[in-house]
Amino acid sequence: MNVLFKYRYSFLAGACAAGGSFFGKLPSFLSAMNLLQVDAVQPAGYAYLEFALVQVFPLGLMLFCNVCNLRYFLKALQMTQQTLTATVLTAASNYVLSFILGVLVYREPLTVLSGAGIALILTGLCFLCDTKTDVSRPPDEQKQKQI
């Protein structure tokens, strides 16, 4: 649980990045589904409402998620000793969450290759977040820390 607290901003940055890509794809997905069917009977202002709900609102959410992504990523860089750790954790959590959202919401195909890729990413995250071996310290300091 300490690992999640230590790298919380990296995971939040990845979640915001996944949200940004999710909301970026949403307008074309909603347009293709044609949820709000426009008829000649509907009032003239209805087209503007549809444009605002289907196009502008998701793009505004995408911009908000991207700003939050940058904010949390900078905080993650400040909290970790190595910038590579924050970068990899942010990218990995972005990939995993984007994959989950794509499968659940956009009905993207779940293949063996994509499942194996996600499994490898999660395995790499487990190794990266492993706090039992601290590679940033010399071996002598690790032994003293264990005693």
Q: In the chain, at which residue ranges do the beta strands (DSSP E only) sit?
A: none
Greater confidence, 4 or 115?
115
* Amino acid sitting at position 134: D
Domain that holds residue 33: 2-146
Query: CA–CA separation, 102 vs 107, rounded Å?
Result: 6
- Over the stretch 42-56, which tens digit does the pLDDT of each residue have? 666 666 667 777 788
- Residue closest to 106 by CA, chosen among 21, 15, 38: 21
Number of domains forming the structure of the chain: 1
- Over the stretch 118-145, which tens digit does the pLDDT of each residue have? 999 999 888 887 766 555 555 555 555 5
